[in-house]
Structure 1
């Protein structure tokens, strides 16, 4: 089975970037400890309030989904998402 690659993007509440960076670092460390998958964080080049988390080479999608949702809840990540918006998750697999 091909590994999955997660791309999760969302608009950040303006003024909370520093707090989000710290909480997201802790959430990703927690997620890596539970799943072995390390994450990366990027900001959109022309919109610094749109952030993206990237998690690559996820072999066990069901277990990762559960661990990710638990990390989001445990670390309160949704409080940093702009009001009225949500986290968008896209999952990709290799073509061949």
Structure 2
């Protein structure tokens, strides 16, 4: 019988960071990106935040707290990323980084 890693069944927090196109990081694009994410991600987490790095405005982070089903949440993120809103917003040359944390 194999043991699950500590916290494997506990809700996780997902931290997803990436770079945006500097020319696309305007108020209109940011509001559209936030609205798309909130609509698609809200069912998958207790709290969602969209943040940008203080010393580098082209680095953004999505924080999803208390995610019960990380696979479903990541699928919703992928769906959001395929929308025209994100196609114009995200730097296509920069990778997306995903970190998972448990309490």
Query: What TM-score comes out, normalization by structure 1 length?
Result: 0.79
Alpha-carbon offset, residue 81 of structure 1 = 2.1
Cα distance between partner residues in 1 of 2:36 and 2:49: 12
Aligned pair count reads 94
Which residue, out of 63, 75, 78, partners 1:69? 78
Alpha-carbon offset, residue 29 of structure 1 = 2.4
Structure 2 residue 18 is matched with structure 1 residue 5: no
- Number of the residue aligned with 2:56: 47
Alpha-carbon offset, residue 36 of structure 1 = 5.2
Query: What TM-score comes out, normalization by structure 2 length?
Result: 0.75
Q: For 1:29-68, what per-residue CA distance to the aligned partner results, in whole angstroms no more than 9, with x for missing partners?
A: 2224543544211111111111111111001122212222
- Number of the residue aligned with 1:29: 38
Moved more, 17-26 or 28-37: 28-37
Moved over 4 A (4+): none
